[in-house]
């Protein structure tokens, strides 16, 4: 994982953690809020639960989109200026880890 991917990952993780933490704390300490029906006769517990599932997918897609440049760079010559070819780096990294692991 490049530094950039790692940074994106951590930020998106923090966003989701806050959203998930809000759900858990609301359920634990304010169940009456969860029982309210803000829209379409469906209560907040269901809306929030579905929103958490939808948010997981949206953030995952956003992460994939943000990290896509590296993938493009791997497959053709349009890599970012001043960057080593990521595919080459990944391969060498994988080989290095294989050796470090001491298998075979």
Determine which residue in the list 29, 78, 81, 82 makes contact with other proteins, applying CB under 8 A: 29
Residue 38, token pair as written in the block: 């803000």
Q: 45: part of which helix (H) or strand (E)?
A: helix 44-66
Q: Which residues bind other proteins (CB under 8 A)?
A: 1-3, 5-6, 8-10, 12-13, 16-17, 20, 23-24, 27-29, 31, 34-35, 37, 40-43, 45-46, 49-50, 52-54, 56-57, 59-61, 63-64, 67, 70-71, 74, 87, 89-91, 93-94, 97-98, 100-104
């Amino acid at each position: 994982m490049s530094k950039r991917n790692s940074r994106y990952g951590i930020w998106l993780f923090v966003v989701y953690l806050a959203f998930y933490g809000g759900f858990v704390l609301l359920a634990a300490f304010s169940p009456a809020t969860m029982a309210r029906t803000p829209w379409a006769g469906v209560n907040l517990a269901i809306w929030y639960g579905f929103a958490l599932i939808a948010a997981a997918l949206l953030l995952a897609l956003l992460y994939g989109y943000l990290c896509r440049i590296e993938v493009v760079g791997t497959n053709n010559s349009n890599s970012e200026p001043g960057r080593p070819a990521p595919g080459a780096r990944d391969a060498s990294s994988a080989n290095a880890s294989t050796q470090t692991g001491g298998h075979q």
